[in-house]
Structure 1
Amino acid sequence: MQRDICENYIRAMQYEGWRLVEERFDDRADPATKQLVIDDQEATLVRAFFERCAAGASGASIARWANGQVHPSASKPKARPVGGELRAPPFL
């Protein structure tokens, strides 16, 4: 069920013109041990996202915070909350 939701979300974003790059997990594996390598910078952000979500923050407020943290430049892509994507044809 969750996988279907994620796949539908990706299709909806692509329908709206977003260019998505899917990185495979094995691309981040240590060749010697085959264990995933954690990116400390990304892990810090992921923890912050989950903490804000657990504290009751909305998707929009997390996106606003992320835009200031991750993409401070107006010329770079910005995170945005889910909303219109759910009304795209793949979900109808």
Structure 2
Amino acid sequence: MKNEEKKIRNIFIILLIFALFITIFTIENSSIITIKFITWKFNISLALIILLCVIVGASITLLLSLKKELYLKKENKKLLDNISVLESKIQEVTSVKK
């Protein structure tokens, strides 16, 4: 197995363990609680609140990581373009010397 495949497998296992912990936590904390926000007041399961918070947190993390990945891809393209320009200049210099 390649290193990249091992890394992906390990991340998947860690995420499964994390999901198991969240599931156990939400099952043990399934009581109904009252949520008050400004003038609204409603009763909801604590497990549902925990699940919503995890989903929101994961979504925010995903969005931020996508933003970072796009930025890095843009920077990578710039650097590759610079490499191409510099390689062509090297070719010109070496051809002139010959």
Give the TM-score category using the shorter length. under 0.3
User: Using CA pairs below 8 Å that are at least 6 residues apart, which structure has the higher relative contact order?
Assistant: 1
More strand by share: 2
TM-score (norm 2): 0.23
Larger radius of gyration: 2
Specify which structure has the higher proportion of helix. 2
TM-score (norm 1): 0.24
